[in-house]
């Protein structure tokens, strides 16, 4: 039965967030070749990469704490940028852990046009995060601002409940739609 391991994977070791000298990174090694590249090409620790117990996932899972301790100490010796460059060169999956503002201001988000503004009738411009996927045959409808209170009330009363204009006017006149909707 799988158990919770916090931010690490149940079936990949190492996998998780590691603090560098300045900022955190996330790495994951889901198979033996990745694990070996991490410890041979990035960490320069052939004794770990070649350890017979580490050649299978069950061995790495059993040694999870030892592997994490080794990497915790290692990654703190240099900066995020330097580690990410080494990890990329070795083709070990890794990425910067970013704050929300850092993520929203990143070149990846900008390249995909993920952050925009939507005109709103009372709030001016409202920030928007776009849908992160694109469809080749079905374009995504451009986003619109959330409706103001009661903005679509007449349409809902007419289309959903079948009320006619006279009945809606009567509700409005009696204050049933709220004082701000009285004419």
Instruction: Per residue of the chain (183 residues), give pLDDT as tens.
Output: 666 656 667 778 899 999 999 999 999 999 999 999 999 999 999 999 999 999 999 999 999 999 999 999 999 999 999 999 999 999 999 999 999 999 999 998 999 889 989 999 888 999 999 888 878 888 878 888 888 888 889 999 999 999 999 999 999 899 888 776 555
Q: CA distances (Å), 40 to each of 64, 79, 88, in order? A: 18, 19, 14
Question: Could you give the domains of the chain?
Answer: 15-97 (3.30.1540.10), 100-146 (no CATH), 147-183 (no CATH)
Report the alpha-carbon distance of residue 72 to residue 32 in Å, rounded: 20
Give the closest residue to 155 by CA, choosing from 175, 124, 136, 177. Answer: 177
How many Cα atoms occupy the beta-carbon half-sphere of 156 within 13 Å?
A: 7
């Amino acid at each position: 039965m799988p158990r919770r391991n916090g931010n690490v994977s149940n079936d990949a070791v190492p996998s998780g967030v590691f603090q560098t000298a300045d900022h955190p990174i996330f790495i994951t090694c889901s198979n033996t070749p990745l694990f070996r590249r991490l410890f041979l090409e990035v960490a320069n620790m052939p004794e770990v990469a070649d350890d017979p117990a580490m050649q299978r996932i069950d061995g790495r899972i059993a040694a999870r704490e030892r592997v994490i301790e080794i990497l915790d100490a290692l990654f703190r010796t240099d900066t995020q940028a330097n580690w990410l460059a080494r990890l990329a060169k070795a083709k070990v999956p890794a990425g910067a852990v970013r704050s929300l503002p850092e993520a929203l201001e990143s070149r990846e988000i900008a390249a995909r046009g993920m952050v925009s503004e939507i005109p709103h009738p009372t709030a001016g411009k409202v920030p928007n995060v776009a849908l992160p996927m694109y469809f080749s045959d079905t374009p995504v409808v451009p986003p619109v601002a959330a409706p103001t209170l009661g903005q679509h009330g007449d349409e809902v009363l007419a289309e959903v409940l079948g009320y006619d204009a006279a009945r809606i006017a009567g509700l409005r006149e009696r204050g049933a739609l709220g004082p701000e909707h009285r004419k």
